[in-house]
Copies of this chain bind each other. A is one copy, B any other.
Amino acid sequence: MKFENDLIIRAAQGEVIERYPVWLMRQAGRILPEYRKVRASLSGFKELVETPESAAEVTVQPVDLLGVDAAIIFSDILVVPEAMGLSYELIEKKGPWFENTIKSMDDLEKYAQTNFDVEDRLSYVLEAIKIANKEIGGRVPLIGFAGAPWTIFCYMIEGQGSKTFSKARNILYTNPTLAHELLTRITDITIQYLKAQIEAGAHLVQVFDSWAGILGKEQYAEFGLRYLDRIAKAINQVPVTLFAKGAYNSVADLAAMDCQTIGVDWNMQMKDIREVVGESRTLQGNLDPCALYSSHSEVEAMTNNMLDSFKSRRHIVNLGHGVYPDVDPEKVKTFIKTVKNYEIQY
Contacts and interface: CB of A to CB of B under 8 A. Distances in A.
B290 A172 contact: yes
A289 B324 contact: no
A169 B248 contact: no
B217 A169 contact: no
Chain A: number of interface residues, binned into ranges: 20 to 34
A104 to B, nearest CB: 15
Contacts of A213: 246, 267
Interface stretch (A29-37, A39-47, A158-166): A158-166
A170 B248 contact: no
A290 B324 contact: no
A122 to B, nearest CB: 26
Interface in A211-265: 213-217, 219, 246, 248-249
Nearest to A325: B166
A294 interface: yes
A324 B219 CA distance: 19
Contacts of A272: 249
Contacts of A291: 173
A174 interface: yes
A321 interface: yes
A272 B218 CA distance: 14
Contacts of A170: 290, 293
A169 B214 CA distance: 21
A163 B166 contact: no
A280 interface: no
Max chain B C-beta neighbours (<10 A), residue from A161, A216, A217, A290: A290
A119 B326 CA distance: 41
B269 A217 contact: yes
A268 B215 CA distance: 10
Contact of A293 (B174, B290, B293): B174
B248 A166 contact: no
B288 A269 contact: no
A200 to B, nearest CB: 31
Contacts of A172: 290
Contacts of A95: 163
A250 to B, nearest CB: 11
Contacts of A321: 164
Interface of A: 95, 161, 163-164, 166, 169-170, 172-174, 213-217, 219, 246, 248-249, 266-269, 272, 288-291, 293-294, 298, 321, 324, 326
3 closest pairs, A vs B, by CB? A169-B290, A170-B293, A173-B294
